[in-house]
């Protein structure tokens, strides 16, 4: 095996920023002591970001001796210590995401930064350090069996990490794509690297780029692997659907935008591509395109495909509402988009605030947005529609008439004009009082202002009385309806009632459905419950991503026609 010194100094002419001649540096001994260079070791290479006239070490330098790599000891957060033996270099991947970025050593044991980000735009020191260490690894891998074994193990571990990231990110992020290219420079995992690249291209949904890449593999991979890659939907489709249907992975959505765009640009889509695009439309909240796709492929979907898609829609809605629920608990103001959100049941943030029995939170929600346009998902089902009414819910859970009145004024269209009139009269009163105060300083006659104020106050009192009477009527009406709802045996209505009356129902609907859940269906609504809720409704049950049970009631079969899977809807 060659000496480390010979490898590191074999061809210094290709490097312009790295320093190999230590004779040109001043105060070398002092700074070797700062780094803690072991006795007997000879410094060979110095990497420092910036121009220097003396050996100044300001905390960003990396120094390589004939035995080890040292980085400035002020950066203790870069590793347990500031020394890495050169004999271990093949246990790491040397990585820099972009020229000028930090230089990292990555291994199964962790990640160490050995060189800082370059500030000067033309400084190539970090890039040259990476090139130098890559060259050293190639020489060691070719000449030393132990180093080859270490490096092969490191690349294998990283390849496993990269392929596992498909499940986490949907497609390879830039960092993993660059690391995969680095692994591709070595022959150890040629087939696995080609497979991962093909998988990533399939997930990007760029058919032309995919087949161009596959044709370039004719003399690279085995005929068996090539045959598999030429059937991408058969090879990659199921895993892709399984990954993008992970409702907890919000961070995946942004990465999948290119896939969504590529599919929408295509003139003709296979059924599999339509299914993928349906999932992506849910993630990107393109409901209009989703509905159009579902109407086209619905009849060709199996029961399980249909329920998986609609189940993901329900689960994804709930997971997004989980963030809003946390904001409500923390009294963090909601954005307009968040105010307009609903969960799989069709419950809004205002429903959540009422359920939480927090009067201030309810008032905050009322002032956060317009609630007059809210509609229940069941406008033609009076019993169920009643349970979505904000005043019904407020009157059922609260005894505070003033709060119920506020809820009515901000949610009931019949009360909207009364609220507007009361506000306008209050404004008129305030304007006239301000004018009275201004005119009083001039000694003017104030009687006309006083008369108007009295008239406006009388009108406001009349409106207030009308509002109070309307509130009382609404409360009586709501509580009569509540008695009917409580007595009903209607499974969906009873579940809505459970959501309202159990103090932790919203939390449980989110927390208890992380790894296992049921997707129930009532008419066109699919909603999520934990496994301990047994309702007389059709359902599919998932545990750890696998279907473990299902029931399709005969009464639901006809309802499913035209919505997808009608050919096998009774096979649950």
pLDDT at 555: 65
Distance CA 130, CA 95 (A): 7
287 vs 317: CA distance, rounded Å: 12
Q: Is the dihedral of CA 143, 144, 145, 147 positive or negative?
A: negative
HSE at residue 456, side-chain half, CA atoms within 13 A, is: 19
pTM of the model: 0.83
- Cβ-based neighbour number of residue 224 at 10 Å: 9
DSSP 3-state of 299: helix
Q: 104, 121, 97, 107: which is closest to 69 by C-alpha?
A: 104
Q: Phi and psi dihedrals of 31, rounded to 5?
A: -85, -25
DSSP-assigned letters across all residues of 326-347: HHHHTTPPPPHHHHT---TT--
Which distant-in-sequence residues (6+ apart) come within 8 Å of 490 by Cβ?
383, 384
Contact 129, 18 (CB under 8 A): yes
| Closest listed residue to residue 324, CA positions, set 344, 309, 342 | 342
If one counts every other C-beta atom within 10 angstroms of the C-beta of residue 223, the result is: 8
SS3 228: helix
Closest by CA position to 190, among listed 138, 227, 234, 152: 152
Give me the pLDDT at residue 560, please.
Answer: 46
* Those residues with Cβ within 8 angstroms of residue 476's Cβ, 6 or more apart along the chain or in another chain: none
pLDDT score of 313: 95
CA 98 remoteness from chain centre? 25
Please, are residues 423 and 431 in contact by the beta-carbon 8 Å criterion? Answer: no
Buried b (16+ CB within 10 A) or exposed e, 1-13: eeebbebbeeeee
- By the 8 A CB rule, do 366 and 406 touch? yes
Of the candidates 322, 236, 308, 237, the residue with the CA atom closest to the CA atom of residue 271? 237
Q: Which two tokens mark 141? A: 């891998």
Contact 92, 154 (CB under 8 A): yes
pLDDT at 120: 73
pLDDT at 510: 87
Alpha-carbon distance 87 to 82, whole Å?
A: 15
What is the pLDDT, as a whole number, of residue 33? 82
Per-residue pLDDT of the chain (572 residues; tens, 9 = 90+): 578 999 999 888 889 889 888 777 777 777 788 888 888 899 999 988 654 444 444 456 899 999 999 987 777 667 668 899 999 999 999 999 998 889 999 999 999 989 988 777 788 899 999 999 999 999 999 999 999 999 999 999 999 999 999 999 999 999 999 999 999 999 999 999 999 999 999 999 999 999 999 999 998 999 999 999 999 999 999 999 999 999 988 889 999 999 999 999 999 999 999 999 999 999 999 999 999 999 989 889 999 999 999 999 999 999 999 999 999 999 999 999 999 999 999 999 999 999 999 999 999 999 998 899 999 988 778 889 999 999 999 999 999 999 999 999 999 998 888 888 888 888 888 888 888 888 777 777 788 878 888 888 888 888 888 899 999 999 999 999 999 999 999 999 999 999 999 878 999 888 899 889 999 999 889 999 999 899 999 999 999 888 999 999 876 654 444 444 433 333 33
Residue 424 pLDDT: 87
- Per-residue confidence (pLDDT) for residue 1, from 0 to 100: 57
The per-residue pLDDT for 50 is 57
Q: How does strand 103-107 pair with strand 93-95?
A: antiparallel
Distance CA 73, CA 82 (A): 6
CA-wise closest residue to 481 among 571, 364, 348, 392:
392
Question: Taking a C-beta distance cutoff of 8 angstroms, is the pair 114, 100 a contact?
Answer: no
């Amino acid at each position: 095996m060659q000496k480390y010194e010979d490898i590191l100094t074999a061809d210094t002419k290709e490097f312009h920023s790295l320093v190999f001649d230590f004779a040109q540096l001043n105060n070398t001994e002092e700074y070797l002591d700062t780094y803690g260079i072991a006795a007997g070791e000879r410094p060979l290479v110095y990497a420092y970001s910036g121009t220097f006239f003396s050996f100044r070490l300001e905390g960003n330098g990396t120094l390589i001796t004939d035995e080890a790599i040292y980085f400035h000891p002020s950066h203790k957060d870069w590793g347990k210590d500031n020394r890495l033996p050169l004999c271990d270099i093949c246990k790491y991947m040397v990585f820099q995401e972009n020229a000028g970025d930090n230089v990292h050593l990555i291994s199964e044991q962790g990640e160490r930064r050995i060189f800082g980000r370059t500030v000067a735009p033309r400084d190539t020191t970090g890039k040259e350090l990476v090139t130098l260490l890559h060259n050293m690894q190639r020489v060691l891998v070719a000449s030393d069996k132990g180093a080859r074994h270490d490096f092969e193990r490191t690349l294998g571990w990283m390849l496993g990490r990269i392929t596992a990231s498909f499940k986490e990110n949907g497609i390879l992020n830039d960092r993993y794509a660059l690391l995969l290219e680095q692994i591709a420079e070595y022959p150890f995992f040629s087939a696995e690297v080609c497979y991962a690249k093909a998988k990533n291209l399939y997930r990007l949904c760029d058919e032309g780029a995919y087949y161009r890449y596959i044709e370039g593999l004719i003399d690279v991979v085995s005929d068996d692997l090539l045959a598999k890659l030429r059937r991408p939907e058969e090879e990659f489709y199921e895993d892709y659907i399984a990954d993008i249907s992970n409702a907890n992975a919000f961070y995946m959505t942004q990465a999948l935008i290119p896939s969504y765009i590529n599919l929408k640009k295509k003139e003709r889509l296979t059924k599999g591509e339509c299914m993928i695009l349906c999932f992506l439309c849910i993630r990107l909240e393109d409901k209009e395109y989703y509905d159009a796709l579902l109407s086209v492929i619905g009849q060709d979907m199996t029961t399980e495909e249909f329920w998986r898609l609609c189940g993901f829609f329900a689960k994804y809605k709930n997971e997004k509402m989980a963030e809003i629920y946390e904001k409500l608990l923390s009294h963090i103001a909601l954005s307009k988009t968040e105010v307009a959100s609903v969960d799989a049941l069709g419950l809004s943030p205002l429903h959540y605030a009422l359920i939480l029995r927090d009067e201030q939170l309810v008032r905050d929600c009322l002032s956060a947005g317009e609630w007059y346009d809210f509609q229940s998902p069941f406008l033609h089902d009076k019993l169920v529609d009643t349970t979505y009414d904000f005043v019904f819910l407020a009157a059922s859970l609260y005894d505070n008439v003033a709060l119920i009145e506020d809820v009515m004024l901000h949610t009931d269209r019949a009360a909207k004009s009364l609220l507007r009139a009361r506000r306008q009269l209050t404004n008129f009163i305030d304007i006239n009082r301000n004018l009275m105060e201004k005119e009083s300083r001039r000694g003017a006659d104030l009687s006309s202002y006083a008369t108007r104020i009295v008239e406006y106050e009388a009108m406001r009192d009349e409106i207030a009385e009308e509002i109070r009477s309307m509130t009382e009527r609404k409360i009586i009406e709501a509580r009569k309806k509540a008695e009917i709802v409580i007595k009903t045996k209607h499974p969906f209505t009873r579940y809505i009632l459970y959501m309202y009356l159990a103090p932790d129902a919203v939390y449980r609907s989110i927390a208890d459905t992380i790894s296992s859940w049921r997707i129930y269906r009532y008419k066109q609504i699919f909603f999520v419950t934990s496994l301990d809720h047994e309702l007389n409704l059709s359902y599919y049950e998932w545990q750890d991503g696998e279907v473990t049970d299902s029931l399709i009631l005969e009464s639901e079969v006809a309802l499913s026609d035209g919505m997808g899977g009608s050919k096998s809807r009774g096979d649950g």
